[in-house]
A and B are shown apart, each in its own frame.
Chain A
């Protein structure tokens, strides 16, 4: 992910700080950073290297054979099923991204500019955050009694006479997948946008108003441009989450739709690890390319 980073987060000021940066000080910094580096090295970097290596290996139903063959890539990229699956995943990503951006922005905007007391802001923000800290699977299952054939929505539609037979496409469909993803991932948009909106200097808005801008112009010319970094971070989150999602697609589409990660998951359950690894590499490269197009300074935003 290309996130341009400026070196020091905290400005080293004055003599005391300079003394801190001396040789023993630096040694302390290395010791403090070591656990993080070791854990990420062993559980993030090494597994990714392993995946790249294994993607060139040969395999049969029982085990893997170290080798250097391109079969896994040729099989994956040469099959139209793969391309269709990638397109389908991309479709989910675009739709979910647009919806979460719209909802996320207005929710964050309401919290940041319309809620007046800080306590109320904190409380309402927590109300949005709490579901994020509960189980995704449970949150997915909870749509079943709402959207199902005999669910609440259908019951209401039948009672009011809008439809004469239960609507079938509410559950186990692309609609259900998108709805569940928006349900699960909007918070990843709300939080970064809320964070950037809270950092906007309120005097800028007053200045714009004094200069004769109406509410719409303030929003369009002042708030929106300043909210872009938050939107970009939210976008990175939502797009990577959707591109890598398999469980929402599996549960909510009832096995009728496919995604890249679901394809990997199926290969994994058939013990075709090299094939899954080749898919993982393609997906990672794709996400990295998408990341380079979005250059944001995360560190400055915190």
Chain B
């Protein structure tokens, strides 16, 4: 069978899409290249030699704050937010499959959480903790602040999943004598597992990169985005780019690992 010929509009839109991708990735690749700047190089092209000088510089103690500590905090916080987002979203998704009083207000609240400006949440939590007399900390107030950003994504994804999910599988399991827990563990969970992994990815990366919500809530110790932000105002060497390259590569690594897990789960299910 001969393939239908592509119309001219396809090529125009394809070119438009290619430009869009270039727009998305072009600047990012510029700083990745520039992070290999030689020791005498500056913040712009041309490259003044090629070296790992700025990456080495990164591991040394910085004039402003410490990179290693903030990375560890952001990483731990990301994992905490990820776990909480997956569990809470899954539970909420299950709850919304039934009718219950307050379902609609709770849904509104979830959507509101997505559109209320981050800085307002940051300010509100900061002032509230101050007035109650609890010290803000990255594992307390910032953890909660990040959840207000990741949970709506998780819950909306679970909504989309369950809207397309036929209850007949669970009914079949029940008819065969499975207990509610068995139905959940052996029927429902394997089917939605890839989506849950996706929710986890959102939870981790959105928290790992969150800036505005950490601003007033992180307390004494900075998270990584706060550290990077401080560097943008103080540091005028390519060490900034080196940090950008390292964190971006780390994000890419997390995303690829997650996608690999999703594909693997899909394959395993197809085999079973």
Residues of A with Cβ closer than 8 Å to B? 1, 3, 5, 7-10, 12-13, 16-17, 20-21, 25-26, 28-33, 35-37, 39-48, 50-51, 54, 64, 103, 106-107, 109-111, 114, 124, 126-128, 130-131, 133-139, 141-146, 148, 150-152, 155, 183, 186, 215, 236-237, 240, 243-244, 246-247, 251, 261, 264-265, 268, 273, 276-277, 280, 283-284, 287, 291, 298-299, 302
B43 contact from A37, A145, A277, Cβ within 8 A: A145
Taking residues whose C-beta sits less than 8 angstroms from the other chain, chain B's interface range is 35 or more
Known A9-B159, A44-B116, A127-B21: A36·B167 in contact at CB below 8 Å: no
Q: With A110-B13, A141-B232, A141-B240 in contact, do A244 and B99 touch (Cβ < 8 Å)?
A: no
Tell which of A26, A37, A128, A261 touches B117, judged by Cβ atoms closer than 8 Å.
Answer: A261
Beta-carbon contact of B98 and A51 below 8 Å? no
Chain A residues touching B, majority SS: helix
Report the minimal beta-carbon distance from A49 to chain B, rounded to whole angstroms: 8
Task: Judge whether B91 and A114 touch: CB under 8 Å.
Answer: no
Which residues of B sit under 8 angstroms from A51, Cβ to Cβ? 120, 123-124, 127
Contact A32 B118 (CB under 8 A): no
- A26 in contact with B100 (CB, 8 Å): yes
Closest A residue to B161 using CB positions: A302
Given A1-B112, A36-B92, A299-B159; A48-B17 close (CB under 8 Å): no
- Distance in angstroms from B209 CB to nearest chain A CB is 4
Q: How far is the CA of A66 from the CA of B131 in the complex (A)?
A: 10
- Let me know if B228 and A137 touch, CB within 8 A: yes
Bound Cα distance from A35 to B47, whole angstroms: 52
B264 smallest CB distance to A (angstroms)? 16
| B111, A3: Cβ atoms closer than 8 Å | yes
Contact call B120/A12, Cβ cutoff below 8 A: no
B226-271 contacts to A (CB < 8 Å)? 228-229, 232, 240-241, 244, 247-248, 251-252, 254-255, 259
9 tightest CB-CB pairs across the interface, nearest first?
A47-B124, A244-B117, A32-B95, A142-B27, A43-B144, A33-B95, A302-B160, A133-B205, A36-B92
